[in-house]
A = this chain, B = another copy of it.
Amino acid sequence: MKNEAIVASLFAILLISLASFKTKAQTLGKSVRDTSAIFPKGQRAPASNFTGIVWVQQLIEPDSDFNIPVGYVTFEPGARSHWHSHAGGQVLLAMGGIGYYQERGKPIQILRKGDAVKCPSNVPHWHGASPTVGFMQVAITPNTATGRVTWLQPVSNKEYNALKP
């Protein structure tokens, strides 16, 4: 009867091996989704230009050679910028989470990891996180000689919730 115990133990080892194989595959799947750790979260963004909790890490500071501020922005769920425009335009790269982007007069566009958006110069727009999932983006602001950003009014709850069914 000791054989039964040995067989059960071997079966246990087999099951553990299978469990290990399964989790390797899960690891690979998970790693594709979690990408929040490339850049540090940085500092709280000024409350005067944002609704909710937003973090900004400057990646490239302005200097005397050529001026192209690049920042990493983390929006906590429900957070968003005020309406604003860039005289020199802006490029957004979606790095993770679920983001909202809207240009004046157009519907809200959902941004997901890997999406790239070019905000045309002088077009009022806003960006932020979805209500339940945060959003991480890289923001590139070129042509700053023509003006970096003009802040406008906050995005109202009605505007923000317009996407809901």
Hey, which bits of chain A sit against chain B, CB under 8 A?
Answer: 1-2, 4-5, 7-9, 11-12, 15-16, 19-20, 23-24, 26-28, 30-35, 37-40, 59-60, 63, 65-66, 68, 70, 88-89, 91, 93, 95-96, 113-114, 116, 118, 120-121, 138, 140, 142-143
Establish whether residues B40 and A37, one from each chain, have CB atoms under 8 Å apart when the complex forms. Answer: no
Give this chain's copy count: 2
Contact (A93, B138) CB under 8 Å given A38-B114, A118-B63, A121-B66: yes
Chain B residues with Cβ below 8 Å from A95 are 38
- A interface, over-half SS: mixed
- Knowing A68-B140, A138-B138 touch, does A91 contact B60 (C-beta < 8 A)? yes
Give the distance in Å from the alpha carbon of A143 to the alpha carbon of B67 in the complex: 10
Our pick among B1, B23, B138 for the contact of A20 (Cβ within 8 Å) is: B23
